[in-house]
Structure 1
């Protein structure tokens, strides 16, 4: 489990294809504190560490990504040289600063508008119809692994949904979201509580 509070930005420095895709990701962590088999959320995707090395502040770790994961995540997430948001898994006793995030991407969204509002950035994101029942104003959503609050929701003709989020300067600086442009794709994960409420509602029906 994760909180959607990004602790570092990593860079994909190497890709190897041998059935699954293996990535080597540079990061500012201490490799001695990265356990083989540990889970790290990479731009919202829970991945397992299979190798690690380097030194404190200049480390790297490797992960394997299946074809299923590639097919369900944003197209540019895994490009060589891409910056990705990193969050190690939650430990008992850690502060829950964002919201409960599982690291399982529900859908890919598209940035349809980016606007500067004073010192903050307002993003409008379009998501597929399947996610519409789970996105609510003042609810939580993870965008590329970052816990954000939904500001407004607009249901579109055809069933898709458009929602707005606000990036304060700190969030824009310490995550990859500040570099997003119109047309970019992002990994979306709906709020876990909303998922269960929808299930309960369907059983009542």
Structure 2
């Protein structure tokens, strides 16, 4: 039997809403919206765009932002059961996020452990927030501006022959990863991009849908 391995986005996928967008709406000045639009229409790289977004927010807002997301972020229905299901059947589940460590780890802590959590890192040492990039693009990535390069991480972790790669995501930041997946579960903007690029996908709204898709693929031992 092929060895399944899952790569799952965080913002807008595990959580109901995109946490970066939520933070911008609450803590950033109005100019964040133009930057967001440039990221979504791909005229600005994710790396450059996220750096610009967070440079708009004072570092002194860190604890306020963490508390805001603890109070407001909603985990998508079925996620806890999905994590338990993958653990029960020995399916590696990796979280790959363009989000930032100061909110990704606190929001995930009740649901792990996972095989790995990959995200960007925030520095609060200066007057405004700066971003660190511990997961850069590899030589095969044509972008160079991914920030947290999801396809590079996927290539590194799914090298064993016979792996069946499942990708779960919701946004343009998941598109390059989706191009490498054997089975793609998509919603929202990623679903639109998959249709534009001719990438077959399974639509999902909850993680119950994702669990059902896994079962239909016949990868459970």
Higher helix share: 2
TM-score bracket for the superposition, by shorter chain length: under 0.3
Higher strand share: 1
State the TM-score, normalized to the length of structure 1: 0.28
State the TM-score, normalized to the length of structure 2: 0.26
